[in-house]
Amino acid sequence: MKQMSVRAVIMLVITSVFVAGLCILCMFYVTDGDDWALYPANTHIFNEGHVSKAGSITDRNGVVLSHSVDGVRKYNDDLLIRKSTLHAVGDLDGFISTGLHTSYLPQLVGFDSINGVYQFSGTGNNIKTTLDSSVCQVALEALGNRAGTVGVYNYKTGEIICMVSTPTYDINSQSDSKKAKDGEYKGVYINRFLSATYTPGSTFKIITAAAGIDTFEDIYDRVYTCKGGVEIDGEWISCMGNHGKTDIKEAVAYSCNAYFSQLAVDIGKDKMMEYAEKAGFNQEFYMDGIKAETSYFNVENTRNIDLAWAGMGQYTNMMNPLQYLTAVGAIANGGVPKKPYMVKSITAQNGLPLRQSIGQNGSRMISKDTADKVAELMSGAVQLSYGSWNFKGLDVCAKSGTAEVGEDKTPHAEFVGFVRNEELPLAFVVVVENGGTGRTVAGGVASKVLAAAKKSLVGE
Amino acid sequence: MNIAVFAVRFIIPVLLIVLLFSCVKNMFKIGKRHPILRLVMEPNGAEFNITCAESAIGRSRICDVRINVPSVSRRHAVLTYIEDVGVKISQVGNCKIRVNNKKVDGFTYLNLGDVIEMGGVQLKVCNPKFEDISSGKKPTVKGVIFQAVLLSIVQLLMLFEFVAHYGKDIPAAIPVSFTTLIAGQWIYLIINKFKGNLQIEIMGFLLTSFGFSVAASAFPSSLFKQLVCAVLGFAVFVAFGFVFKNIELTMKMRYFIGAAAILMFAYNILFGKEINGAKNWIEIGSFTIQPSELIKFAFIFAGAATLERLLSTRNILLFLAYSGICIGALFLMRDFGTASIYFVTMLIIAYMRSGDIKAIAFIVAAAGIGAALIIKAMPYVANRFAAYRHAWELASGKGYQQTRTMIAIASGGLFGLGGGEGNLDRVAAADTDLVFGILCEEWGLIAALCAALCFVIFAVYSLRCTPRTNSSYYAIAACAASGLFLFQISLNIFGSTDLLPLTGVTMPFISNGGSSMIASWALLSFIKAVGTQVIKEADVG
């Protein structure tokens, strides 16, 4: 039997191969199981390829943005709410990849690799967002037919109040959905707040100002001359006005190109890079685990003239609205950003809370002192230039931008800032693509949105 | 009700793990064999305590009684212990043996005091020295009862889930099948007084319950047929349990069963019926059966051999020729999946019989070239594998079944959705080829892995029992049967999850199908046999 015993070891080989196969299968189960379960052919949660059995998505006040009724996904009945929250909620085919229908599908249908798609009661989990659908609605109206984005968040808690991206479409209308599919609305499936980058234009001057405040102790006494522009390295950088001798307060208020190009050159490449990166340029940004497009700033190995352009938000600078909103929020919040989030809570059908979001601090961007100084400069811009009457009852600090995007194209209108009122700690970013002047166009949108936010959140 | 179903989902996997753990604990506590006799070598006085039922004597290192004298052949003689008869010594080939100065022609039975002479060496047959064998504990009655209770709870919980799923409209077959199974297994265990290596049957019953659950979920109307076939299969299992107790009867039956297999194949080829592209069905009255399933048993039955035989007829050409006929018949029936199972079984038997790894490698290489030629000559065969590793790209075409299986596996999670709650049964062949998906979806990955683990336990058990079994025949047969099981479930599980090409073979015990159920129980009898005599106390010495 010795001989047989030796030969029977072959069974050990066969068994090992089989067990190894089972291990590989289990490994795939762990790594790919969610893709398997969430494949649209899974009849447990999909009906004809559309998610059918899933929880609801509501705004901060409980307004239902989308939910499942008898195995069919339904959106809010109001056209404007539907359209303005479409990019946050997502479509049913997964074209809007950052939408909750896609990025939070496992949570919505209640899938996890331990319980599979098993549900104790009802179907899926409910997601409550931090959005205020009434503010979103106003933002969409204010943007009108123009492409762009509006983002508003609470810089003390991190809650996103408003996130609207245009163009958008009515998902309930078959003809409008078809238009979107046929490409009649340019970039309609992109949530511009998360997935676009724009030339920051003059809005970038607040970053340069922060770097200037920290670099030069005598910043308030520092004066540069504007002759309707300035010559650097033999090239002319023109300015909107002829500001003459300008200090930093006037330069921010009147967005003086001559001042900031000279200041940026004096600050130097290294310091400019440092402050841009602290503000989130070249850094990866996430909101609720959804990755945003990365902002870009690079002045290494550049000439002074490029540095000058970069210091006032042109050159190769690109900002992502989410990232830039966070940076502006940091200025409002004493130099430390709150990480923005939109998913407030996830609750099982039986009421069991599965996740409750809390605001998290990002790493400090600038000192409190610097932040307060920049805020003061931005406040001055509103009072001197934009008009505080546009923001009735609100102490708004802001910076406009008119980003040049090509020779014969209308520039992007941009407006960023925050409200300093205790009861309404909101930061905002507005981009109107090819909208024209930032101060009037994007500033006008911001004015309407903030009024709506005040009405909804404070109740006046 | 809802809460109960919710809890049962977690209880079943836990009970299964405890059950298997308990089974393994008992099965692998195998006592040493009682020694049979002792050979004392003259003149140097070297002693050999014989404990194996079959012992080879010779110069070779792998002989149980190694006599390192040049005049002794590498394999010179075989000692065979036959229960209730005695110990016989047989010559290997033309090697000369004398017992009490009388030349042995073929074999002779030994008595105490006999002197065996071979190659100038004398071996005296003496009483064995009894070692302390108390360290090996026999499986306890308590253990078997514990396992039987766990098993019954699992089966009742399965039934409960179906009751919860179907409500008042539950097809009668479901409660009838499960309760018949539970009652049947208790009667069997009581008749056996809960003694012996009953873990094999307990795992067989467990796998059968999974088989019932698949039928209950996918095709409740086929459940009665499954029940009848399980009873038939179990009858075959018990009947051959008796046959295997008598090695001489077993050896005589080999030829009949081997011939019957060939005849059945011939009948199948001539009068077979084609279903789903393979002509592997025959009709008897209103029943359709799949001979290739049943012949698996006959194939192993005829292929295994005792040590005495192995050493006297060294070549395995006859066996290879026999295998060639069987596999050729399956090719004619266009049942390539089953043909590959026979091929692997053949390799295991051939290796166990000859130990010739080079010959096996040669056969595999030849088969590989053959397969390559076939694929080249018949591109549509290769076309069947087009979806392999591309299932998700072809999710609505050739990868349909595999992707749906993976969806089902992930949907079930670790604990399953509950009996009858799966959706995979809407896919074609889900209850046979994709059955692992149904197990995972309804009972969860843990339970499905426990089912797969049963076959792993069978294989390791066969290996573990080999040194102590009563004949090489049982060792070869059990390794072949458990190897067949493992290869077949590999094709089934990994084929349906796209880790291997989808070949469409069944999962023993679990796939819906009568022939498969009978064949599975029949094959299990080999694994039962390899362990059965292990714990019997020897009566010579």
The string of DSSP letters for A393-414 reads T--EEEEEEEE--STTSPPEEE
Instruction: Round to whole Å and give the CA distance between B131 and B120.
Output: 30
pLDDT value, residue A78: 94
> Shortest CA distance to B231 belongs to which of B194, B278, B301, B181?
B181
Q: Which residue is it, tokens 């010959």?
A: B359
- Residue B385: phi and psi, rounded to 5, are -95, 10
Mean pLDDT over residues A82-96, rounded?
Answer: 94
Torsion A386-A390-A392-A397 (CA) sign: negative
Mean pLDDT over residues A410-438, rounded?
Answer: 93
> Shortest CA distance to B250 belongs to which of B540, B50, B525, B458?
B525
**Hey, which residues 332-361 in chain B have their CB within 8 Å of chain A?**
348, 351-352, 355
| A236 touches B: beta carbon within 8 Å | no
pLDDT exceeds 80 at position B23 = yes
Candidate from A14, A22, A42 with C-beta closest to B452: A22
Mean pLDDT score across all residues of chain A: 92
Residue-wise pLDDT for A6-49, tens only, equals 999 999 999 999 999 999 999 999 999 999 999 999 999 888 88
Mean pLDDT over residues B458-476, rounded?
Answer: 92
Instruction: Round to whole Å and give the CA distance between B203 and B335.
Output: 29
Instruction: Round to whole Å and give the CA distance between B238 and B525.
Output: 8
Q: Are A204 and A122 in contact (CB under 8 A)?
A: no
pLDDT value, residue A75: 95
State whether A4 and B411 contact (CB < 8 Å): no
Distance of alpha carbon A22 from the chain centroid: 43
B540: confidence class by pLDDT, cuts 50, 70, 90: very low
Instruction: Round to whole Å and give the CA distance between A103 and B96.
Output: 81
Q: Which residues of A touch B449 (CB under 8 A)?
A: 22, 26
Q: Which residues of A touch B411 (CB under 8 A)?
A: 36-37, 42, 44, 116-117
State whether A116 and B426 contact (CB < 8 Å): no
Q: Which of A381-390, B179-188, B524-533 has the highest mean pLDDT?
A: B179-188
pLDDT exceeds 70 at position A226 = yes
State whether A116 and B416 contact (CB < 8 Å): yes
pLDDT value, residue A234: 87
> Shortest CA distance to A332 belongs to which of A249, A248, A425?
A425
Contact residues for B366 (Cβ-Cβ < 8 A; gap 6+): none
How many C-beta atoms lie closer than 10 Å to residue A107's C-beta?
20
Would strands B107-109 and B115-118 be described as parallel, antiparallel, or unpaired? Answer: unpaired
How many C-beta atoms lie closer than 10 Å to residue A17's C-beta?
12
> Shortest CA distance to B147 belongs to which of B5, B25, B30, B238?
B25
Instruction: Round to whole Å and give the CA distance between B313 and B320.
Output: 14
A248: confidence class by pLDDT, cuts 50, 70, 90: very high
Return the higher-pLDDT residue of A283 and B85: A283
| A9 touches B: beta carbon within 8 Å | yes
Q: Are B385 and A17 in contact (CB under 8 A)?
A: no
End-to-end CA distance of chain A: 94
State whether B483 and A14 contact (CB < 8 Å): yes
Record the tokens describing residue A350, joined without a space.
């039986």
pLDDT value, residue A128: 96
Torsion of CA B50, B52, B55, B59, to 10 degrees: -60
- Residue A415: phi and psi, rounded to 5, are -155, 120
Candidate from B9, B410, B483 with C-beta closest to A29: B410
Q: What is the DSSP secondary structure assignment for residue A383, as one 8-state letter?
A: I
Q: Which residues of A touch B64 (CB under 8 A)?
A: 1-2
- Chain B residue closest in CA terms to A34: B410
Q: Which residues of A touch B483 (CB under 8 A)?
A: 10-11, 14
Q: Which residues pair with A236 in a beta bridge?
A: A231
Instruction: Round to whole Å and give the CA distance between A208 and A263.
Output: 8
Residue-wise pLDDT for A196-206, tens only, equals 999 999 999 99
Mean pLDDT over residues A346-362, rounded?
Answer: 90
**Strand order through the sheet with A353-356:** A72-75, A64-69, A57-58, A125-129, A343-348, A353-356
pLDDT exceeds 80 at position A122 = no
Instruction: Round to whole Å and give the CA distance between B235 and B522.
Output: 9
CA distances from A123 to A66, A105, A164 (A): 14, 12, 29
Instruction: Round to whole Å and give the CA distance between A411 and A434.
Output: 5
Residue-wise pLDDT for B137-171, tens only, equals 555 788 999 999 999 999 999 999 999 999 999 99
Angle ∠(A269,A271,A272) on CA atoms, nearest 5: 65
Record the tokens describing residue B363, joined without a space.
């056969």
Asked whether the bond before B139 is cis by omega within 30 degrees of 0, the reply is no
pLDDT exceeds 70 at position B132 = no
Instruction: Round to whole Å and give the CA distance between B476 and B471.
Output: 9
pLDDT exceeds 80 at position A282 = yes
Instruction: Round to whole Å and give the CA distance between A57 and A100.
Output: 8
B535: confidence class by pLDDT, cuts 50, 70, 90: very low
**3-class secondary-structure state, position A201:** helix
Residue-wise pLDDT for B257-289, tens only, equals 999 999 999 999 888 888 777 788 888 777 888
Instruction: Round to whole Å and give the CA distance between A378 and A398.
Output: 5
How many C-beta atoms lie closer than 10 Å to residue A452's C-beta?
22
Length of chain A in terms of residues written: 460
pLDDT value, residue B311: 82
Q: Which residues of B touch A42 (CB under 8 A)?
A: 407, 411, 423
Mean pLDDT over residues A427-452, rounded?
Answer: 92
pLDDT value, residue B523: 98
Architecture of the domain delimited by B37-126: Sandwich (2.60)
Instruction: Round to whole Å and give the CA distance between A18 and A24.
Output: 10
Q: Which residue is it, tokens 């106003």?
A: A138
Candidate from A7, A9, A44 with C-beta closest to B423: A44
Q: What is the DSSP secondary structure assignment for residue B500, as one 8-state letter?
A: S
Would strands B65-66 and B86-91 be described as parallel, antiparallel, or unpaired? Answer: unpaired
Torsion B91-B96-B99-B102 (CA) sign: positive
**Hey, which residues 87-126 in chain B have their CB within 8 Å of chain A?**
none
Torsion A95-A101-A103-A109 (CA) sign: negative
**3-class secondary-structure state, position B424:** helix
- Chain B residue closest in CA terms to A8: B463
**For residue B362, how many C-alpha atoms fall within 13 Å in the half-sphere facing its CB?**
7
| All domains in chain A, ordered by first residue | 201-340+362-457 (3.40.710.10)
pLDDT value, residue B137: 52
Q: Which of A33-37, B42-46, B204-208 is predicted with the least confidence, judged by mean pLDDT? A: B42-46
Mean pLDDT over residues A413-427, rounded?
Answer: 94
pLDDT exceeds 50 at position B537 = no
Record the tokens describing residue A29, joined without a space.
């189960």
| B49 touches A: beta carbon within 8 Å | no
Instruction: Round to whole Å and give the CA distance between A155 and A418.
Output: 9
- Chain A residue closest in CA terms to B418: A118
Asked whether the bond before A167 is cis by omega within 30 degrees of 0, the reply is yes
Angle ∠(B298,B302,B305) on CA atoms, nearest 5: 140
Instruction: Round to whole Å and give the CA distance between B299 and B322.
Output: 9
Q: Are A270 and A301 in contact (CB under 8 A)?
A: no
| A25 touches B: beta carbon within 8 Å | yes
Instruction: Round to whole Å and give the CA distance between A135 and A128.
Output: 16
Angle ∠(B315,B325,B236) on CA atoms, nearest 5: 90
pLDDT value, residue B533: 61
Give me the interface pTM, i.e. the ipTM.
Answer: 0.95
Candidate from B6, B404, B444 with C-beta closest to A120: B6
Instruction: Round to whole Å and give the CA distance between A324 and A332.
Output: 12
Question: Under the phi-then-psi rule, with left for phi > 0, alpha for psi from -120 to 50, and beta for the rest, what region is A5?
Answer: alpha
| A21 touches B: beta carbon within 8 Å | yes
| B541 touches A: beta carbon within 8 Å | no
Domain coordinates in residue numbering, chain B? 2-22+144-535, 37-126
Mean pLDDT over residues B111-123, rounded?
Answer: 90
Record the tokens describing residue A172, joined without a space.
């309930």
Mean pLDDT over residues B328-337, rounded?
Answer: 88
**Strand order through the sheet with A148-154:** A160-166, A148-154, A426-432, A412-419, A396-403
**For residue B489, how many C-alpha atoms fall within 13 Å in the half-sphere facing its CB?**
32
pLDDT value, residue B515: 94
Q: Are B247 and B471 in contact (CB under 8 A)?
A: yes
Q: Which residues pair with B326 in a beta bridge?
A: none
Instruction: Round to whole Å and give the CA distance between A370 and A207.
Output: 11
Residue-wise pLDDT for B171-199, tens only, equals 999 999 999 999 999 999 999 998 878 99
pLDDT value, residue B536: 44
- Chain A residue closest in CA terms to B463: A8
